Every structure is written in structure tokens, then in C-alpha cells.
Amino acid sequence: MEEKKIPYKIYLDEKEIPTKWYNVRADMKNKPAPLLNPATLEPMKAEELYPVFCEELVAQELNDTDAYFDIPEEIQNFYKMYRPSPLIRAYFLEKALDTPAKIYYKFEGNNTSGSHKLNSAIAQAYYAKKQGLKGVTTETGAGQWGTALSMACSYFGLDCKVYMVKVSYEQKPFRREVMRTYGASVTPSPSTSTAVGRKILEEHPGTTGSLGCAISEAVEAATTTEGYRYVLGSVLNQVLLHQSVIGLEAKAAMDKFGIKPDVIIGCAGGGSNLGGLISPFMGEKLRGEADYRIIAVEPASCPSLTRGKFAYDFCDTGMVCPLAKMYTLGSGFIPSANHAGGLRYHGMSSTLSQLYDDGLMEATSVEQTSVFAAAEQFARVEGILPAPESSHAIRVAIDEALKCKETGEEKTILFGLTGTGYFDMVAYQKYNDGEMSDYVPTDEDLEKGFAGLPKVDK
Amino acid sequence: MEEKKIPYKIYLDEKEIPTKWYNVRADMKNKPAPLLNPATLEPMKAEELYPVFCEELVAQELNDTDAYFDIPEEIQNFYKMYRPSPLIRAYFLEKALDTPAKIYYKFEGNNTSGSHKLNSAIAQAYYAKKQGLKGVTTETGAGQWGTALSMACSYFGLDCKVYMVKVSYEQKPFRREVMRTYGASVTPSPSTSTAVGRKILEEHPGTTGSLGCAISEAVEAATTTEGYRYVLGSVLNQVLLHQSVIGLEAKAAMDKFGIKPDVIIGCAGGGSNLGGLISPFMGEKLRGEADYRIIAVEPASCPSLTRGKFAYDFCDTGMVCPLAKMYTLGSGFIPSANHAGGLRYHGMSSTLSQLYDDGLMEATSVEQTSVFAAAEQFARVEGILPAPESSHAIRVAIDEALKCKETGEEKTILFGLTGTGYFDMVAYQKYNDGEMSDYVPTDEDLEKGFAGLPKVDK
């Protein structure tokens, strides 16, 4: 019985933490479409991006040919604070499901930011520091990214200004407080501190904000303040590059024990976790060295891959950002109150969108009550209270394992457990009280979002 | 440079998780005083304890001669869910303090209960299940113990009734919700569901409760409900026995790298963490094999070791429990609102009290604003947001490291980081807003508590 030897948790040795990030774009035949300048509709040049992003991050963003980037030593050192993260064999869950499937998950929640977001936050803060900047600005929805960035900035002594979607700012005071504990300033968005914020407030008095608004404010704050740049926790190619550390570690841990996953599952909002988790596996698939079934899981309430259009769109509501080609619901699409705040983005990483369009991965959507049912089942047997975002992946992993139970197949399932749900107990409470409802946008709802797509003939 | 080889995190192999608990009482010359029957003032016999506690736990409670107890296989399996816990070299903190001291901490917070409490919860739930019980009752203050017990009961399919101090029930709805997610029922205490609760409510209308009241209610609920027993998360000998897994792992990890601590520091409320952490080290000290400086850290607002009396006292406010000989402030002592809810108990483990009285360990008390200053400093460099309780140990570890900086001594410091502070953000907020105050009881305050001590001539 080979699998008897596999421990509950596989920890790589500290020396085995990756020293290079892997850039999946290098192995893609169809490269992700370039960012476009919204005024000229021409591909953005590096110099045009410098006012917004740090120079080295721009270089990473635009490079779709180099397969590996060295991880700077200071980032490697910081990674040692909370990495390697464990690859966990879900023995308890397998037993509870009575499935022949072998389930593994890569758990990224064992750090105070509570998620994988720290992997890219520390990289972005490092390059900002290296460029001699004073600070960075960003937006946060659920708060995981803002928390991660606060921790990273605190480490490098950088100022950190976070625009937090107002509804989250009010509903998640504790997330806000963690960011303050790490020295960040947190502003509810939309705010009167930016022109775009004032405009939005004028047009929509009493609005509780959206991720798209908060991005617009953070970009404005960065570009109008000396010594600041904007950083983003998902969607961008650079973020997927940094997050490849998840997949590289997962693959190294599996390789050690000769395990090969049949199915790889991740939740997908902007794509940072899924993109990072699948990168090295997708690389093998692209190079024809191996085949994997890869599934992106998104909320039925914000179904960019499963029901969106593959088109150029704005990344933000204020339309100050470059255009990105992606599966999108339109930058004007307002997702309903779904508790997985981290999955409420109208678009999807250009890289993942291209891979999906090329048929290299699948996508599925799930409704939130079934997601919380899976979360609770998982928490009770595996002992980790998962974030609502991560629980989308759990739902589909359980469903796949139950299919194996029916067919008797001993498939190996790998999914990404991106984080913990300690700051999401309001959502759990609603679920426990039977007050959680599902919402699926109608085709008409979607048409309204699509109507706002910019006219780009590319 | 030998220490260069020491990784940031030392993880034992899964096979190295202890398979026996260590009972420090076996090596004590002066044994902890026995529990007394409050009516007869005679030592409690096993049979007298059976209505309250599970039989195997009573056996562990009363056994002060056997040095080792086998950990049952099912508990060993459960331990694999979240153990071994890492022993972390605080390189980042050492650098920030610019100290020649080498600082290590054993981190017990990487599980959903957020603390070390799970180590004993799973053991107590196991023995309850083994005895064929339907369920268990308990009290919880800060909520860590209640959460841990909920997780453990959920694992064994046991019913779990938690009496939660009313002020915490109201101020920490999210803790409550985690317990519900694990299927526990949570009742604010004092409640009208018990006779003792009704009596307390009658005498003190509008009271927000105390740990002592909640214990009385939980004991009554257990002894008056068929198939239930009471379980406790600290103070008792059996709990220290289970928690010895912390110290055994810490010592095994240090031994692997030839590290010998000079100073061992732990926060102390009822003593579960400190007792567990120091057990194997204290064993060596008691047997004359090694010497360690051991420091218990308690809040200045509830200073049972540093200002209490070593006397027989009630363990609960309702005076339904046996008498224990311990350092105590009197069961009527009402600690002020200190945010470290887990350290607000009037007494201290009989075992630790005896060791302290015998001069085998030291004790010190710290004020809460200085504790939160240490917590924030630690969080920013080590990346873990600590629980207020744990931060008492951090405060003293930092102070000891700073003394080393002055003297140039390269001492090795080990402290216990019992848990995370994700559910304590109200306290962090008060600290961040400059609204946190310190409180030290006057001698008169203490005299009131001492006046209520039972007259026992032992």
C-alpha cells in the first residue's frame, strides 16, 4: 500500500522553497492579449505603465517569453516566515465521503493575512522599496489582499494606503483593524479623497462601493502622489507569476511521493490563486509532457468565465486603467451580495482567459448555499474553517470525489485551499441561521453589463 | 556558525509526534495537594468524581506516580490533523531587537480553534466517547477552549454544550459562530437554564457573568443530565498531562539541533499552556539532570501567583466544585475587564502552584498596554498576530532579550505562543486608538477576595 506512507501533511524542507517563479506565458502558443491604452487602443508600452506600476513589475507584466524569474533573496527570506505551506492529504474528508478518490489540498492560510495573497504582496512591496518609493496604494474587497499588503509594507517600512470597499469596511471592522495593526491607513471607498471617488458619490449618493470603484481611487491616489505607485492583488500577469510559488511547491511535494493529480481545482475571482496553483502543471500540459484536467470554480452570482464574453474591457469602474482582454461581465456589472468578496470581480486574468478560450481548462459555477454546506462539512472533518472563496474549490472537489465513489475510480484530486474564514463569520452565521440565499443573474442582467463593453476590434 | 543551520521553522516528522503524555507530578517530591470534598474536607475519592468527570480522566487526575500515559491511537490520529506544531526561530524579532539572544517559540495557533486548547479537548472528548456518553458540558471565557471542544466533539459525534461568559458571548459573536459551525450549542452565562444560573441572576441582576459562574452552570448541567459529563480546559492535572505534548515536541525539536534553552517563558491563566510547555524541562530539573529558568507571566489585573495566597479554594463561584489547593485570589475575586480573557481566572493549577511554592519557577506580572505593544511589535516582524494571552509571554521574552542586549549574553529563550488573535480585534482596536488602560487591583481589592477563602486547615 504505497499511499499508506504518505503523511497527513507534506512539508517541503526550507531549502526546497522555490528560488524562481515560473511564467506560464512562456509556454503558451497563444499568448495573452496585451494591455491596451484606452485612448489610442495601441498596446501599452512599458513607459506608459511606469506612472502606475513599479518598473520591475512592469517588466514582469510584459514579459511573455522568459519561463523563469529569480526570486530576490529578501523575498526568499520573507517566504521563510510562512512557507513552505503544507500540502495536506485529506484523509479525514476521504473517510467522511467514503470515496476511493485521493484528495490533496495546498493550504495557503497559515499566515496572518489568512490567504495566499502574501506571496505577491511581499514581491510587489519589495520592488517598490527597491525603486526608492515612499509607499503604495491599493484596493481591497474581502480584505485579504489589503491585509497581506499591509504586512508586506510593514516589513519593508513602506507606507500603505488601502481603499476598502465601503460595505466591507463597515461589515468587516476586524479586517480593517488587522491592517491598522500593520500600520496601513484604510479609507472606505468611494471616498471624498479622490476626484473619481467624489464623482461616483455625486452620481450614486449612498453607494456602498465596489471593487471597480476602489481600484479607480487607488490608481488616482498613486498617480497623483509623489513617490507612490499602485499595486494589485490579482488579475495581472505579474501576480500569477508570483503566485506560481503555490503550484511549484505543490508539484515538488507531489513529485517527492510520486503522486500525479488527475484533476486540479481552484476557485477563481481575478485568477491569482488558480493561476498560481496550476502554473507548473499547465506548463507540462502546454509542452505536451503530461495531461491534467483543470477546473476553475466561480460563484454563480459572478460567472465571468462561464457566462461572460471574451473581449477587451476596463479593469475598473472609473475607466482609468488600461484595457485588458479577458472573460468579462462588463466593468459596469454589479455583482450581488455574495459573501465570497474575493470572487466578485467582473473580469478574469487575461492569461487564464486565454487558456480557457484555448480549451486547456474547464470552468464551472456553484451557488453559495452549496458552497457553505461544503465549507462546513470540510471544517468539521479537516479541522480548518475555510474562507468562502476557497470553499468554492472544496465544493467541486467534494463533488468530483463523490463521482469517484459512484464509478469506483481512484482519481487523485488536488485543490487549492487559499485561506481561512475567521473574518467571514457573518456569512457563516447567515448560513447557520438558514438565512443565506442564492442568486444567479438573469440573461438580461448580463446584457446590461455587456452593453458597457468598449468597442475594440481586437 | 552552528546556528546558521537552524531553519526558521523546525517541524518534527509526523512519526515524531509524541505517543505518550508526560506526567510531571511523577517526578515531584512535593506532590500537588489533593482535591478536597467541600463537605467533608477529605480528599476526593475517584467514585466521588465520577458523576462530574469521565472515569479515565479521573484516573489521570488522581495519578501522581506514573510518569507516562499512552496516547490512544485515535487521539494520535487526530493530532496529525494539526500537529506537529512548528518550533519557530524568531530570527526576524532578534534582528528587530538587535539582541544577541536566540529566541524560539512553540506556535500552537495553526488550527481553527486558534490555540493549544485542542490538545486536551480531543483527549477529553475521546474518553467521553469511549465511556459511551452522549455529550459534555463546559464553560468558555475568551472562547478558545469552547471552540476547541466543539471541534473535538464534532469529530467524535458528541453533543457539546458550552456556557459562554455573557460579556464574551455578546462581544465575540464570531467565536460563538465558529462553535455553532462545529455543531455546539452555546448559552450565555449566567442563564435561566440552571438553578445556579437563576440564583446568580436573582442576586446580581444584569450581571455580565464570569468564568466562575459559567463553570458552576456547566457542572450543574452535566450532573443533572443523563449521559453527560463536565470537561475543563485548564487548571486540572489531566489538562496539564495532555498539554505536555507541547513541551515534548518543543524539546524533541530542540534536541535535534542540540539547542538547550536558558529561559522558558509562558503565559499563565489556569496554567494549561505553561504547564504543558515546561513539563519535560521541569522533569529534567526535578530529576537534577538539567537546570532551566522558568517564568510564568500573568496579567497585573489578575495576579494569582504574584499576589495571591497559596490556600485551598473553590474552583468556581457557585462553590459546587471540589476545593483545590492553589495560588488564588479567592473565588469571589472579580477580575477587571482585561482583554486577555483566557487569563482571568482567580486561581492557578495546583501542580504549578506547588512548583512555584517550591521555588522551581518564577512568576511575573505585566500590564496590558505593554502587552499589546509587544504583540504589535511581534506581529509586524514575525508575521503572526498573537492572542492577547500569548502576548504576555512575548512581552517578557522581549524584555529578557533586551536585557541580553545590554549584557551581551547570548541566552537562548524559549516561549510558548499559544494562539492567534483573530477574534480579539476589538482589543487591538482599543490599543490602536489609544483607548486601552491598565488596571492593577489595590491591596484592599485583594483582601476582599481573600476574605471569601474557605477555612481549611491543610
Average pLDDT over residues A234-262: 97
Task: Name the band, by pLDDT with cuts 50, 70 and 90, for residue B254.
Answer: very high
- The answer on pLDDT for A308 being more than 70 is yes
| Residue B41 banded pLDDT, cuts 50, 70, 90 | very high
Residue with cell 480573557: B341
Q: Inter-chain contact A385–B112, Cβ cutoff 8 Å?
A: yes
A95 in contact with B, Cβ within 8 Å: no
Q: Which stretch of A83-87, A209-213, B184-188, B293-297 has the lowest confidence by average pLDDT? A: A209-213
pLDDT tens digits for A115-124? 999 999 999 9
Q: Which of A80, A181, A339, A420 to mutate to test the interface with B (most CBs of B within 10 A)?
A: A181
Instruction: Compute the distance between CA of residue B327 and CA of residue B338 in angstroms, rounded to an integer.
Output: 20
Contact status of A429 with chain B (Cβ, < 8 Å)? yes
The answer to whether residues B266 and B393 touch, using CB atoms and an 8 Å cutoff, is yes
Task: Give the pLDDT confidence score for residue B320 in this predicted structure.
Answer: 80
Name the band, by pLDDT with cuts 50, 70 and 90, for residue A318.
confident
Q: Does B111 touch chain A (CB under 8 A)?
A: yes
Contacts of B383 in chain A (CB under 8 A): 81-82, 111-112, 151, 155
Contact A429 B82 (CB under 8 A): no
Looking at residue A453, the DSSP 8-state letter turns out to be -
Supply A341's cell numbers: 468578496
Q: What percent of chain A has pLDDT over 90?
A: 87
B425: nearest CB among A80, A174, A426? A174
Cell of residue B189, nine digits:
452565562
Task: Provide the 10 A C-beta neighbour count for residue B181.
Answer: 25
pLDDT at A337: 67
Question: What confidence tens digit (pLDDT) does each residue in A4-51 have?
Answer: 589 999 999 999 999 999 999 999 999 999 999 999 999 999 999 999
B370 touches B72 (CB < 8 A): no
The alpha carbon of residue B336 is apart from the nearest alpha carbon of chain A, in Å, by: 24
Q: Which of A9, A380, A423 sits opposite B182 (nearest CB)?
A: A380
For residue A308, give the DSSP letter. -
| Cβ-defined contact of A432 to B181 (cutoff 8 Å) | yes
The CA distance from A239 to the nearest CA of chain B, in Å, is 21
Termini Cα distance of chain A:
54
Identify the H or E element spanning A366. strand A362-366
Q: Is the pLDDT of residue B2 over 50?
A: no
pLDDT of residue A206: 86
- pLDDT for B4 equals 54
Give the tens place of pLDDT for each residue, B24-37: 999 999 999 999 99
Shortest distance, CA B165 to any CA of chain A (angstroms): 19
In this structure, the number of other CB atoms found within 10 A of the CB of residue A336 comes to 15
Percent of chain B as helix, strand, coil, to the nearest 5:
45, 15, 40
Share of chain B above pLDDT 90, in %: 87
Q: How far is B56 from chain A (nearest CA, A)?
A: 25
What's the pLDDT score for residue B345? Answer: 87
Across A200-209, B47-56, B72-81, B185-194, least confident range: A200-209
Q: Is the pLDDT of residue A128 over 50?
A: yes
Please indicate if any CB of chain A lies within 8 Å of the CB of B257.
Answer: no
Of B14, B376, B429, the CB nearest to A8: B14
Q: Which of A411, A363, A367 is nearest to A391 (CA)?
A: A367
Which residue shows C-alpha cell 462561464? A306
pLDDT of residue A336: 73
| Alpha-carbon separation of residue B357 from B16, B300, B350, B381 (angstroms) | 34, 19, 10, 37
pLDDT at residue number B172: 86
Which residues does chain A have within 8 Å of residue B81's beta carbon, measured at their own beta carbons? 8, 92, 382-383
- A157 near B CB under 8 A: no
| Mean pLDDT calculated for residue range A292-316 | 95
In terms of CA atoms, which chain A residue is nearest residue B420?
A112
pTM: 0.95
State the average pLDDT for chain A: 94
Residues in B touching A422 (Cβ below 8 Å): 114, 174, 178, 422-423
Whether residue B84 is preceded by a cis peptide bond, meaning omega within 30 degrees of 0, is: yes
- pLDDT at residue B403, rounded to an integer: 98
Confidence at residue B363, expressed as pLDDT on a 0 to 100 scale: 98
Amino acid (one-letter) located at A192:
T
| Distance of residue A170 Cα from the nearest chain B Cα, in angstroms | 14
Q: Do A81 and B8 touch (CB under 8 A)?
A: yes
Measured in angstroms, the CA of A82 and the nearest CA of chain B are apart by 8
Are A116 and A390 contacting, i.e. CB atoms less than 8 angstroms apart?
A: no
Quick: pLDDT tens for B274-306.
Answer: 999 999 999 999 999 999 999 999 999 999 999
Contact B17, B76 (CB under 8 A): yes
Instruction: Closest CB to A428: pick one of B111, B177, B376.
Output: B177
- Mean pLDDT (chain B, rounded): 94
Q: Is B384 on the interface with A (CB under 8 A)?
A: yes
Average of per-residue pLDDT across B413-439: 93
A7 interfaces chain B, CB cutoff of 8 Å: yes
Average pLDDT over residues A373-395: 96
- pLDDT for position A333: 85
Phi, psi of A5 (to 5 degrees): -80, -15
Q: Do A383 and B111 touch (CB under 8 A)?
A: yes
Report the alpha-carbon distance of residue A338 to residue B52 in Å, rounded. 46
B 180-199 residues with CB below 8 A of A? 180-183
Radius of gyration of the CA atoms of chain A, in A: 20
Percent of chain B with pLDDT over 70: 98
Confidence of residue B1 (pLDDT cuts 50, 70, 90): very low
Q: What burial class does residue B118 get, using C-beta atoms within 10 Å of its C-beta: 0-12 exposed, 13-18 middle, 19+ buried?
A: buried
A16 touches chain B (CB under 8 A): no
The rounded distance, in Å, linking the Cα atoms of A266 and A389 is 10
Cβ separation A383–B9 shorter than 8 A: no
B74: chain A residues, CB-CB within 8 Å: none
- State the pairing for strand pair B263-267/A293-299: unpaired
- What lies within 8 Å, CB to CB, of A182 at 6+ separation is A147, A150, A151, A153, A154, A160, B379, B380
Query: Taking the mean position of all CA atoms in its chain, how far away is CA A242?
Result: 11
Cell numbers found for residue B161: 454544550
Inform me whether the pLDDT recorded for A292 exceeds 60: yes
Chain A residues closer than 8 Å to B177 by CB: 425, 428-429, 432
- Please state the rounded mean pLDDT for residues A350-363: 98
Neighbours of B134 (CB within 10 A): 14
Q: Do A428 and B182 touch (CB under 8 A)?
A: no
Report CB contact under 8 Å: A380, B429: no
Q: How far is CA B354 from CA B25, B172, B246, B325, in A?
A: 10, 34, 21, 9
Between CA A316 and CA A452 the distance in angstroms is 12
Over range A254-261, report the average pLDDT: 97
Contacting residues for B455 by C-beta, under 8 A, at least 6 apart = none
Interface-testing mutation among A15, A177, A182, A382, with chain B (most B C-beta atoms within 10 A): A177
Query: Measured between CA atoms, how close is B429 to chain A, in angstroms?
Result: 6
| Identity of the residue in B81, B154, B432 whose CB atom sits nearest the CB atom of A8 | B81
- Interface pTM, i.e. ipTM: 0.94
pLDDT at B412 (0 to 100): 98
Residues A380, B183: C-beta atoms closer than 8 Å: yes
**B100-117: per-residue pLDDT in tens?**
999 999 999 999 999 999
Is A425 in contact with B80 (Cβ distance < 8 A)? Answer: no
> Which grid coordinates are listed for A124?
510587489
B227 backbone φψ class: left, alpha, beta (φ>0; ψ -120 to 50): left
Residue A412 has pLDDT above 90, yes or no: yes
Partner-chain contact B384 A151, CB within 8 Å: no
- Residues forming beta bridges with residue A266, ordered by sequence position: A296
